[in-house]
Amino acid sequence: MNIQPGRVLPYLLVLPGTLIVLGLLVLPVTGTFAGTIGPQDDRLALFRQFFAYDYNVTVIVRSVRIALVTSVISLVFGYVAASRIAQTTGLRRQILLVCAVFPLLTGAIVRSFAWMVILGRNGMLNSALLASGLVDQPLPLLFTETSLILGLVYLFTPLAILSLIGVIEAIDRSVVDAAISLGATPSGVFYQVTLPLIAPGLLVGGVLVFTGSLAAFATGRLLGGEAETILPTLLNEKAMVSFDWDSASVIAVVMVAITFAVVLLGQYAARRLNPSAG
């Protein structure tokens, strides 16, 4: 049996990376999933125990809600910024791109501390409100769901911008001009022409923002605190504080399941908007 080197070489080149992914990602995740399997008579015992507490369910709902709101706001801001960048050229385009991705050049902890300085009891915003006489005492702006969403939007909007720039630039301007010449309103052009064409970018950007928001431990800890506990902070509490590894494994499985569900829903929505995107 003759084996042609040209056919084997690609597999040999991929093999090292595949083994690394299997060893560092697939096997640990599989071990985590296996750790949530209960006794033979009740395989879902750990999940039943975890969901029996209303607090855990509340944290899951809060985490998904915050991630969804963050994704929508980031995609809206990302579309506006990406559209503007796509319309510019030369030096101005480079400057706008640098400004768009600049937050990515600093760590999540640094950016979260910046929002703590802005929203803290003695922070910049409260100081400005007190100086203007609009309030008599500092407002509780920090450690709220709003402060957490603000921090996450600032954190992940650059990802939405980068995901949308390419698909917006790929839109054939003649298609938009044809829709306008046929009497389409600006809203009609967006919903019937632009939105289906940018569906792949929305899918990628939405998944990146959602999964990032769902797993943002540092931002959740610094801006949400104990008052607004989300899944990553709850996972850290179960694993590193109470050493409840069973509950920590269940939380990890829940986060992975939510991520897969969002990816599938995003793919379905993208196919409905643009069948060629699927």
CATH of the domain at 217: 1.10.3720.10
Whether 18 is covered by a domain: the verdict is: no
Q: Report pLDDT for 154.
A: 93
Q: Report pLDDT for 175.
A: 84
Which H or E element spans position 216? none
Whether 31 is covered by a domain: the verdict is: no
Whether 107 is covered by a domain: the verdict is: yes
Whether 60 is covered by a domain: the verdict is: yes
Whether 181 is covered by a domain: the verdict is: yes
Q: Report pLDDT for 275.
A: 67
Q: Report pLDDT for 2.
A: 58
DSSP letter for each residue of the chain? ----HHHHHHHHHHHHHHHHHIIIIIHHHHHHHHHT---TT-TTHHHHHHHTSHHHHHHHHHHHHHHHHHHHHHHHHHHHHHHHHHT--HHHHHHHHHHHHGGGGS-HHHHHHHHHHHHSTTSHHHHHHHHHTS-SS----SSSHHHHHHHHHHHHHHHHHHHHHHHHHTS-HHHHHHHHHTT--HHHHIIIIIHHHTHHHHHHHHHHHHHHHHT-HHHIIIIITTTT--HHHHHHIIIIIS--HHHHHHHHHHHHHHHHHHHHHHHHHHHHH-GGG-
Q: What is the C-alpha to C-alpha distance for residues 188 and 171, in angstroms, rounded to an integer?
A: 16
Q: Report pLDDT for 124.
A: 92
Whether 62 is covered by a domain: the verdict is: yes
Domain span holding position 267: 52-277
For the chain (length 278 residues), average pLDDT per consecutive 10? 66 88 85 78 84 94 96 95 88 88 84 91 90 89 93 93 90 83 83 86 92 93 91 92 89 92 86 66
Number of domains in the chain: 1
Q: Report pLDDT for 3.
A: 57
Model confidence, pTM: 0.87
Q: Report pLDDT for 105.
A: 82
Do you know the residue count of the chain? Answer: 278
Is residue 207 within 8 A of residue 263, CB to CB? The reply is: yes
Whether 59 is covered by a domain: the verdict is: yes
Task: Match 């706008």 to its residue by tokens.
Answer: 96
Q: Report pLDDT for 250.
A: 92
Question: For residue 78, what are its two tokens?
Answer: 């990302």
Whether 23 is covered by a domain: the verdict is: no
Q: Report pLDDT for 108.
A: 85
